[in-house]
Amino acid sequence: MSVSTPEPKPVPDSPALPTRLSIIVPVYRGERTLEGLIAEIVPLTKGFATPAGIRCVVEEVILVCDGAADGSPQVMALLASRHPFVKPIWLSRNFGQHAATMAGLAATTGDWVVTMDEDGQHDPKDISSLLDVAVASGATLVYARALNPPPHGWLRNFLSRAAKKLVSVLVGNDRIGLFQSFRLVDGDVARRLTALCGQGVFLDIALTWVVDRVATAPVTLRDEGGRASGYNFKSLFSYFWKLVLTAGTRPLRVVAIIGFLSILIAIGVTCKALYEKIFLEVPVAGWTSLIIAVSFFSGVMLFALTMIAEYIGLSLSRAMGRPSYMVVAHPPRRPAKNPPRSGQDV
C-alpha cells in the first residue's frame, strides 16, 4: 500500500519590510523650535512612501543635547515623555555640532541615518528626496543641495562659499563644496565610522575617507524664524581651520614647491654670477652672494620642514582614526538604470 505525500502549499511572499530611518538633531538653542520639528516628524513615524515608491518609517529621533545654552534640556525631556521614538542624549558640555552628531550616529539603529539642524530650516518632508536619490544613484551619502540662498546674512553666505572653494582648491577635494548639515548616510557606514574617528575630526571629511559614491538632492531651505544663529565668526573660523587641518596634507606640498623653486632660483643666480665673472669679467656685487645664500638656505629649510610636516601629517591621520579599510554588512549599492535628474554623483 503506497502512501501519497501531500504537496506543500505555496507560502505567500511576505511584504518587504519598510526602510528604517534614524534622525539625529544636535541641540544647542532649540527651546523654541524643537516641538515644531518633532510635530512635523510624527507623521513620518507611522510609515510613508517616497515619490519613487520606497516604503519608509522613521524609527527614532535622537536629540543630542550639546551643552544647550537655553531651556532645550527641559523641552527634550518633555518630548521624550510624549513620544517613545524620541531618544535624548546628554553631553557633559558643549563639544560642537560635529562631535554631537558623532555621538548621535553611534546610538542609531536605522538602515539610513538623517542629520538635521534644530532650527527648522530643514524640512523633514525632503527626506523622501534624499532617499530616492540614494537608492537611484547607489550613493552611500546624499547631501541636500539648497535651491535658495541659506537664511543667513550675505556676508556669512559669501564667506562660507569662499571658504569651501578655497579648501577644495587647496586639498584637491571637490566634495568639500557639497558639505551640508542636512545629509543622509548609510546607517552601517555611519556607525562603524564613529567607532574609528578620533577627537577633532571634521565629520564630513571623515565620511570622505570611507564613502565611494556621493550624490546631492535639491531642497528648499526654510527661514529660521528670526532665531539667532549659535555661530559667530570666531566659531565659524574655528570650523574652517579644523576643516583645513583634517582635509589632508596637500597644502604642505605647496610650501614644498615654493621651497624647491627658491633653491632653483639660488642655483640660477649662482650660475649667472659665475658665468659673468669667468667669461665676461663682470665684477660681482657683494649683495649677490647674500641673495644666493638667503634664497638657497630658506628654500632648503622650507623643503625640510614640509617633509617633517608630511610625516607628522601621516601620524595625525592615524591619530584621527583614518582607517585603511572598512568592512560593511552589505555589498556596495549600484545605481538604478534610470536615476533621477535631481541626483548628482561625485
Helix then strand then coil, % of the chain, to nearest 5: 50, 15, 40
**Where in the sequence is the domain holding 288, given as residue range(s)?**
250-320
160-190 residue pLDDT tens? 666 666 666 655 566 677 888 999 999 999 9
Q: Closest Cα to residue 94, out of 191, 33, 26, 37? A: 26
C-beta of residue 144 within 8 angstroms of C-beta of residue 166:
no
- The closest alpha carbon to 296, from 273, 254, 256, 264, belongs to 264
- 289 and 164: one domain? no
Using one digit for the tens of pLDDT, what is the confidence trace for 261-313? 888 888 998 898 888 878 877 776 777 788 888 888 888 888 787 777 766 66
pLDDT value for 236:
61
- Do residue 229 and residue 299 come from a single domain? no
Kindly state whether residues 222 and 263 are assigned to the same domain: no
Q: What domain count does the chain have?
A: 2
pLDDT band per the 50, 70, 90 thresholds, residue 4 = very low
> Span 112-130, mean pLDDT?
95
CB atoms within 10 A of CB 21: 26
Are 48 and 118 in the same domain? yes
The pLDDT of 189-200, averaged and rounded, is 82
- Pairing of the two strands 86-90 and 141-146: unpaired
Of 69, 91, 68, 89, whose CA–CA distance to 79 is shortest? 89
Same domain, 66 and 154: yes
**Spatial separation of the C-alpha atoms in residues 139 and 145, rounded to whole Å:** 15
Identify the DSSP state of 33.
T
User: Which grid cell is 108?
Assistant: 542609531
- CA dihedral (187, 189, 190, 192) in degrees, to 10, reads 120
What is the model's pLDDT at position 161?
67
Asked whether residue 6 is assigned to any structural domain, the reply reads no
Q: Indicate whether 89 and 201 sit together in one domain.
A: yes
Of 197, 221, 246, the one marking the end of a domain is 246
For the question of whether the overall pTM of this predicted structure is more than 0.85, the answer is: no
